[in-house]
Amino acid sequence: MKIKVLITGGTIDKTYKELAGELSFTETHMVDMLNRGRSMADTLSEVLFLKDSLEIVDSDRAFILDKCQACDEQHILITHGTDTMVETATYLAKSLKDKTVVLFGSMIPYSVDNSDALFNLGVALSAVQLKPSGVYIAMNGKVFDFDKVQKDKSLGIFIDA
């Protein structure tokens, strides 16, 4: 089974810039994450863009949808920022019926100690191989249906909606 990994940015791919005192994008960490996790899954990664999810608009979502529909793979992982992940999952679910799509991200960048990025990647990678066709979100050790999840900003986790 080949798994397409579409990279859109989000906290998971941000890096702390000491001189500026801020988080920003330089490049994706996905290949390093898969290697560090010793993944044996057959994946093919593609960077669509590197954006904070608060900057993602419907034209970006349409681009993600087009990439999902155009790829030959039936199993797709999408990295995404957590603030609008549910919105993008809902957008994709309206049109994607014959593929298994799992969105995931992290609350702490992969490049920062104690990040949840590798854990969320592992859950997402398992989910995309085991779940039936549909759109899901993998965060905090759980796999949620796209329409039964919400981000609890006060706790910094995803919960059942």
Q: CA distances (Å), 93 to each of 35, 54, 110, 125, 146, in order?
A: 30, 20, 27, 19, 8
What is the structure's pLDDT at 24? 84
What are the pLDDT digits (tens) for 14-54?
988 777 778 889 899 999 999 999 999 999 999 999 999 99
What are the pLDDT digits (tens) for 127-140?
999 999 999 999 99
CA–CA distance, 125 with 30 (Å, rounded to integer): 12
Assessment of whether the complete model's pTM goes beyond 0.85: yes
**Residues, the chain:** 161
Q: Is the pLDDT of residue 80 over 90?
A: yes
